[in-house]
Amino acid sequence: MTIIVGYTESEPSRAALNFGLNLAEKLSMKVVVVNAGPGAERRSESELTQAETEQLEHYLSRFSVPTELRKYSRGRSTADEFKDVVAELNPYAVVIGAAKRSGFSKFMMGSVADELLRELPVAVISVKVPETSVTKRDKNEKG
Q: Domains in the chain, start-ordered, CATH in brackets?
A: 2-142 (3.40.50.620)
pTM: 0.81
DSSP alpha helix (H) spans, 28-135: 50-60, 78-89, 111-119
Neighbours of 111 (CB within 10 A): 11
Per-residue pLDDT of 24-77, as tens digits, reads 999 999 999 999 876 544 455 678 889 999 999 999 999 999 999 999 887 788
Question: How does pLDDT run across 10-33, given as a tens digit for each residue?
Answer: 999 999 999 999 999 999 999 999
